[in-house]
Structure 1
Amino acid sequence: MTAFIFPGQGSQKVGMGKDLADASAHAREVFEEVDEALNQKLTALMHQGTEAELTLTSNAQPAIMANSIATLRVLEKEFGVVLAEKAECVAGHSLGEYSALCAAGAFSLTETAKLLRLRGIAMQDAVPIGVGAMAALLGADIDKASALADAAAQGQVCEVANDNDPTQVVISGHAEAIERAIEMAKDHGIKRGIKLPVSAPFHCSLMQPAAQRMKMALGNTPPSAFTVPLYANVTAARVTDPAEEQDLLVEQVTGRVRWRESVLAMREANVERFVEIGGKVLGPMVGRIDKDAETMSLVTMADLENFAKENA
């Protein structure tokens, strides 16, 4: 059994999707539709913009989604490998959950682009720049990370944001609390803490204003039925009901990304193969969660061609 998985923030880089767009009209159509939906030349920014501009949350979120969906569109239209026929389920890391829902038909491409643009702006606006921060804890499991976050909070917000794999957990909260956590990491048996180059403290309770805005947006643009089940970030459980998923997307803004648990849940449901669409970030995480899981990344035309040959 196969899961198609979709990367999240941090997987963006200048030049992403360019080779695909040069090689395929189907990829170009995706990028053009996203540009039109956002009334912005996002494709130009992705292909030859500056790192700083692409990293802005309001640009990075729709850009990463557009790259994933363009990759999938080429796989389906040019190579005849259809997600609904090949994948038993989908999942995505943070914003990747929206890419997964778009891939499974719950949102149109235009709707997904607009929702992610709003999500990026809402998350940026929720906390003034400099007030919040995030850090990756290397050599930390969830128990060590939770204990460190509790110790470093000291009346401020310091919470586990992403449980990525058994060796990496990300914390989020007030900048001072995150600095304290980095200083205290070794005392908690954690190799080290590295401050992340992000502009807001995602997936913690400081994001509550953004969650309210997404609740309104998703009320106006609710997900429709999806072709395959999704494993949701905040529950690490299988979802098939669009109304339930609508609530979970709101919770996801402030809630923990339970990626490690999601992968384990998919493995328990007999998923043997994880195919990452448009990135090379999640595959290595899956490998660290379960070394027996098969992983592959589809990024280039050659990747897509080889995958199509093997799955003919």
Structure 2
Amino acid sequence: MSEKKIAFVFPGQGSQSVGMLSTLKDEPIVQQTLEEANEVLGFDLAKLIAEGPSAELSLTVNTQPALVTASTAMYRYYLSKGGRRPDVAAGHSLGEYSALVAAGALEFKDAVKLVRFRAEKMQEAVPVGEGTMAAILGLDDDKVKSVCLECAANGVVEAVNFNTPGQVVIAGTVAAVEAAMSKSLEAGAKRAIRLNVSGPFHSSLMKPAAIAMEERLRTVELRSPEIPVLHNVDVRLRSEADDIRGALSAQVSSAVLWADTVREMEKMGCTELYEVGPGAALTGMTKRITKGIAAKALNSKEALEEAASNNQE
């Protein structure tokens, strides 16, 4: 019998919480990871992760490096316990940077600097208060897309996160998103929930940030990944550095095809999926996308050690 195939996925914004590394705070590999991040950023990210305040941790410019740091620390701890590397990796939006670090394609310190820059440029692209996002629950993908087209007269509104069947996130200018929320409910959506975010992320309004990322990525060394990484923009694998750069810059202003990413992992033969990082959002999504993959969140010392013992190198 061939060895089982496992997938690792890394969470994006929204999974952060104060104390998210509390069960691992005394582990040398985790402390080392936090020190590397502090050094790169020039401020005490470790203290912010451990103590908050929550409002400051939730600022995009802090959230993005904090999540890449927490996920990388957890992944390194898993490896230190003898866990084998996954057969395929992916990350939800921001989490794609954690996946590339895990795959050896991107240095951790470079990733931390990149996502801090990414956050700054995403925030600058649209003034706070002008753009927003909303989750539409209970409508299929095509219906949400058509609702967005119908509301185009109100401004920009686009389907930007295809998370699970019946859960699509839209983004755009405030008036257009609110119009699409109302029209979605008229079309039979169960709920339309405005998200607590500071911008219309992954929409075409993020194009200035995508262009800035394209320029910045040219200055960063990228290598061919040692583990296959599925990219958000098109659910494809990439081995060339320039192709990876292109996917990362396009990702800023393109939709996140998450449900298709999980389905692709299943097609590749994966039967187990582990979410490495704080929270359990992707674990919950996986269970709603397919019954063919067993999903588990590795968000504590105990869970990481158990996974490592079950998946020995």
Give the TM-score normalised by the residue count of structure 2.
Answer: 0.95
Q: Give deviations 1:32-54, integer Å, cap 9, x for gaps.
A: 10011111111111111122111
**Matching residue within 64, 80, 83 for 1:81:** 83
Relative distance call for 1:58 and 1:31 in structure 2 (3 A) is same
Q: How does 1:38-53 map to 2 (within 5 A)?
A: 38-53=41-56
> 2:198 is matched with which residue?
199
Per the alignment, residue 281 of structure 1 pairs with 281
Does the 8 Å CA contact 1:6/1:100 hold for their aligned counterparts? yes
Bigger drift between 111-120 and 231-240 goes to 231-240
Answer yes or no: is the 8 Å Cα contact 1:5–1:275 preserved in 2. yes
**3-state SS, counterpart of residue 7 of structure 2:** strand
Correspondence 1:173 to 2:172: yes
- 8 Å CA contact 1:133–1:178 kept in 2: the answer is yes
Instruction: State how far apart, in whole Å, the 2-side matches of 1:127 and 1:147 are.
Output: 24
User: Which consecutive residues of structure 1, in runs of 5 or more, have no partner in the other structure?
Assistant: none
Establish whether residue 230 from structure 1 lines up as the match of residue 234 from structure 2: no
Q: Which amino acid aligns with 1:80?
A: G
Q: Is the CA contact (8 Å cut-off) linking 2:266 and 2:292 kept in structure 1? A: no
Distance in 2 between residues matched to 1:153 and 1:74, nearest whole Å:
47
One-letter code aligned to 2:295: T
1:135/1:196 contact within 8 Å kept: yes
Answer whether contact 2:84 2:311 (CA < 8 A) is retained.
no
1:1-312 mapped onto 2 (5 Å cutoff)? 1-22=5-26, 24-77=27-80, 79-83=81-85, 87-154=86-153, 156-279=155-278, 280-312=280-312
Tell me how far apart the structure 2 counterparts of residues 61 and 98 of structure 1 sit (CA, whole Å).
10
For each residue in 1:80-123, what CA deviation from the matched residue of structure 2 results, as whole angstroms up to 9, or x when unmatched? 1142xxx1111000000000001111111110000000000000
Query: How far 1:155 sits from its partner (Å)?
Result: 5.2
Find the residue that maps to 1:238 and give its secondary structure. coil
Measure the CA separation in 2 of the matches of 1:99 and 1:53: 21
User: Equivalents in 1 of 2:177, 2:53: separation in Å?
Assistant: 28
Length, aligned pairs only: 307
- How large is the RMSD of aligned CA atoms in angstroms? 1.1
Distance in structure 1 (CA, Å) of the matches to 2:249 and 2:290: 29
Matches of 1:11 and 1:62, distance apart in 2 = 13
Instruction: Work out the CA distance in 2 between the residues paired with 1:196 and 1:266.
Output: 28
**Partners in 2 of 1:264 and 1:201 — Cα distance?**
26
The CA distance in 2 between the partners of 1:163 and 1:176, in whole Å, is: 22
**Judging changes above 3 Å, is the alpha-carbon distance between structure 1 residues 218 and 160 closer, same or farther for their aligned structure 2 residues?**
same
| 1:151, distance to aligned residue in structure 2 (A) | 1.6
Give the secondary structure class of the aligned counterpart of 1:114: helix
Paired residue secondary structure (1:40): coil
Q: Which runs of 5+ in 2 are unaligned?
A: none
2:16 and 2:203 map into 1 onto residues whose CA distance is 22
SS in 2 for 1:189: coil
Q: Are 1:223 and 1:242, in contact at CA under 8 Å, matched by a contact in 2?
A: yes
| Contact 1:129–1:199, Cα closer than 8 Å, also in 2 | yes
Detail structure 1 runs of 4+ shifted over 3 Å in the superposition. none
Aligned residues of 1:144 and 1:189 also touching (Cα < 8 A): no
What one-letter code is carried by the residue in structure 2 that aligns with 1:7?
A: P
Residue identity opposite 2:272 in structure 1: R
3-state DSSP class of the match of 1:231? coil
Once residues 54 and 181 of structure 2 are traced to their aligned partners in structure 1, the CA distance between those partners, rounded to angstroms, is: 26
Alpha-carbon distance in 2 for matches of 1:62, 1:176:
31
> Is the Cα–Cα contact under 8 Å of residues 144 and 190 in structure 1 kept in the other structure?
no
- Distance in 2 between the 1:269 and 1:25 partners? 35
1-side partners of 2:68 and 2:254: how far apart? 20
